[in-house]
Amino acid sequence: MGKRAKLKQPKRILVVSCSHGQHINKQAAAEVLRVRHSDEFDSVVHLGDFIDAQAFMSKNVATGEGEALLDDMREGIQFVSDLGPTCIFLGNHEDRLWRLWQDSNRELVRFAAGQVIDRIELMARQLGAELVPYAGLSNPDSWRLYGGTAFGHGYLHNVSAARDHAETLGRPVVFGHIHKLVRQPGRTLNAPEGISVGCLCDIPAMGYAKNRRETAAWDNGYGVGEYTDDWCNINLVRIGSWQNAEIQQGK
């Protein structure tokens, strides 16, 4: 077999993450779609958590409570369909569906999770996009390489998560999951960099994190860049600043 020809001309890539279904930030979504359809990209990647799946959290499954499942599914799938990615990662929020579909002893829960899974898999087929599982930090199935850089949803969730992803995989990493725009070098030779591309969700609406101080560091944003066979460069773009809203004076 002959050697594969080297990719000499860089390819362009657009990367987004964490749009969270019905909790999507409309301004952020509109900006990303404008960029997506105003330029040519060879690869478009959604890194996961495109559905919030709040209704499938353990406490809500137990009580039958939770936010509107149909709205969450429809808005999540609609945004991904409008984005037209070439690669779609499952995040920890979508992973709830697969875990319940496989393991739940409640038939109605298994059925509901299976219905949403069917819609996600149909969307991926219609887009001709690869659907990448949420298989584990050290599982190669969870990651895809672009120019030697590993792309995936992400697993670690501490203040050094970007650095720790790069150190764990031993290569540059681009991920979502922590909702922040971050670049951190790993503490190894050649210092592979961990890059988090922020989120597209309506940050104040993410009620599960309202008591976490770290939420103040979240950013709406995305990544855009280029890659060849052995090189990848991602620039981070911030969309607005949700923290700038004025605090209302008591009356």
Phi, psi (5° rounding) for residue 25? -85, 115
Separation CA 45–CA 80 (nearest Å): 10
Whole-angstrom Cα Rg for the chain: 18
- Structural domain tally of the chain? 1
CA nearest to 159, candidates 137, 176, 193, 182: 182
User: What pLDDT score does 101 carry?
Assistant: 84
Separation CA 130–CA 121 (nearest Å): 10
Q: Is residue 69 in a domain?
A: yes
User: What pLDDT score does 1 carry?
Assistant: 40
User: What pLDDT score does 210 carry?
Assistant: 67
> Domain range holding 41?
11-240
Question: Could you tell me the two tokens for 103?
Answer: 């393991």
CATH code where residue 37 lies = 3.60.21
Separation CA 64–CA 56 (nearest Å): 9
User: What pLDDT score does 247 carry?
Assistant: 57
Q: Is residue 79 in a domain?
A: yes
Residue carrying structure tokens 């992803």: 165
Q: Is residue 110 in a domain?
A: yes
Q: What beta strand segments (E) does the chain contain?
A: 11-16, 43-46, 87-89, 130-132, 144-146, 149-151, 173-175, 181-185, 193-197, 221-227, 232-238
Please give the chain's pLDDT, 251 residues, in tens: 445 556 578 999 999 999 999 999 999 999 999 999 999 999 999 999 999 877 676 665 555 666 677 888 999 999 999 999 999 999 999 999 998 888 777 888 788 889 999 999 999 999 999 999 999 999 999 999 999 999 999 999 999 999 999 999 999 999 999 999 999 999 988 889 999 999 999 998 876 666 778 788 899 999 999 999 999 999 999 998 655 556 566 65
User: What pLDDT score does 246 carry?
Assistant: 60
Separation CA 57–CA 190 (nearest Å): 40
User: What pLDDT score does 240 carry?
Assistant: 80
CA nearest to 176, candidates 45, 76, 61, 73: 45
pTM (2 d.p.) = 0.91
Q: Is residue 3 in a domain?
A: no
Separation CA 144–CA 39 (nearest Å): 23
| Cα distances (angstroms) measured from residue 156 to each of 167, 181, 235 | 12, 15, 22
Q: Bridge-partner residues for 227, per DSSP? A: 11, 232
Q: Is residue 248 in a domain?
A: no
Q: Is residue 247 in a domain?
A: no
CA nearest to 200, candidates 221, 174, 176: 221
Q: Is residue 18 in a domain?
A: yes
User: What pLDDT score does 215 carry?
Assistant: 83
Q: Is residue 251 in a domain?
A: no
Between helix 69-83 and helix 26-38 the angle, nearest 10°, is: 20
Provide the CB-side half-sphere exposure for 43 (13 A, CA): 24
